[in-house]
Amino acid sequence: MTLRELRYLVALADHRHFGRAAEACYVTQSTMSTQLRKLEDYLGQVLVDRHSKQFSLTPTGEKIVERARRIVTQADIILGLTRAHRNPLEGVITLGVIPTLAPYYLPHLLRSIESAHPKLQLVIQERLTADLCEHLNDQSIDTALLALPRPLKQTMSGSIGCMRCEAVVQGLPHQLDPQAYDLRVLFDEPFWVALPKEHALASHNDVAVEALSELELLLLTDGHCLRGQALAVCGQNDAQSDNSTDCRATSLETLQHLVAAGRGCTLLPALAANLADTNHLSIKPLRGDEQRRIGLVWRNSHPRAQEFELLAATLKRTAPAGTKPWQI
């Protein structure tokens, strides 16, 4: 039994598909299948149900994956401790990215990293926020790019006792323990409105937030943090939105095609708006300062935590066009 075989088993459990798991491990599907057969032969147990139409692990496989994940994580921590004595930001870092950011930001991010840290290899995992938080918690990814909750204002007393001031506190997604994680805000991403070409507001220079309540707003399906952010901008909740639309999509690209077909309107973050098809859509800035906040998040106990500080500084310094620097 080898560490490589355990890595393959964990990857298969994560991706639930031989082809995608093999791609994530940078091996062929036949190589992964052969190594997993060797692991099964060594253990004398079938771990993967190969006769089912849908991928599944056997009950024994599920139990072994749980323990294999811990072994792989501890091995990576040991490797990270040795890398601490090398130059920073070299080797492999697994980076999680939310789907509403990945296709629009990753090309820019990868060019920036290649220029600033040419010996760093990023392994990208694109997942929903809840899934990324789960993988941060079980330490199967190193760090993640997330859309952060709206910051909270807290009243604080000064040292004199009579002086009080408001401080802006940037929180984490509720699935993450704020005592266990560090975050660095990278940039703010303003919202734009995507309208059908023939829409009455298409001739305007911008769209007021108040006008959103009058629009047939198309939203992403449940699980996307952008859905909740869009509803918050409109001053709505999920119950209200269910009465106004019968169409939910799983990607911003689908939403844009539906808007072009005249099915409604939608909100786009700036980076998605930058790449929108203006031949078929009218893209207008949302008046005011409504935006989402993008940050890099990692466990503060991670052996490469100091390197993630450097990574965040690079990403903040090279923020893409259309975004705004973070301002308290």
**7-16, 177-186, 250-259, 306-315: which has the minimum mean pLDDT?**
7-16
- What is the tens place of the pLDDT at every residue in 218-236? 988 877 778 888 888 876 6
| Domain membership flag for residue 218 | yes
| Domain membership flag for residue 44 | yes
pLDDT at 155: 47
| Domain membership flag for residue 140 | no
| Domain membership flag for residue 296 | no
Strands 219-220 and 248-249: parallel
Q: Of the candidates 51, 85, 119, which is a domain's last residue?
A: 85
| Domain membership flag for residue 326 | no
Q: Of the candidates 85, 117, 132, which is a domain's last residue?
A: 85
pLDDT at 159: 47
Q: Give the number of domains in the chain.
A: 2
Strands 91-97 and 120-126: parallel
Q: Of the candidates 38, 70, 85, which is a domain's last residue?
A: 85
pTM: 0.72
- What is the tens place of the pLDDT at every residue in 235-277? 665 544 544 455 678 899 999 999 999 999 999 999 999 999 9
Tell me what the mean pLDDT of segment 279-304 comes to: 92
- Residue 43 sits in a domain whose CATH number is 1.10.10.10
pLDDT at 152: 60
| Domain membership flag for residue 221 | yes
Residue 167 — very low, low, confident or very high, per pLDDT cuts 50/70/90?
A: very low
pLDDT at 58: 86
| Domain membership flag for residue 202 | yes
Domain membership of residue 211 as a residue range: 188-285
- Residue 246 sits in a domain whose CATH number is 3.40.190.10
Three-state secondary structure along the chain?
CCHHHHHHHHHHHHHCCHHHHHHHCCCCHHHHHHHHHHHHHHHCCCCEECCCCCCEECHHHHHHHHHHHHHHHHHHHHHHHHHCCCCCCCEEEEEEECCCCHHHHHHHHHHHHHHHCCCEEEEEEECCHHHHHHHHHCCCCCEEEEEECCCEEEEEECCCCCCEEEEEECCCCCCCCCCCEEEEEEEEEEEEEEEECCCHHHHCCCECHHHHHHCCECEECCCCHHHHHHHHHHCCCHHHHHHHCCCEECCHHHHHHHHHCCCCEEEEEHHHHHCCCCCCEEEEEECCCCEEEEEEEEECCCCCHHHHHHHHHHHHHCCCCCCECCCC
| Domain membership flag for residue 97 | no
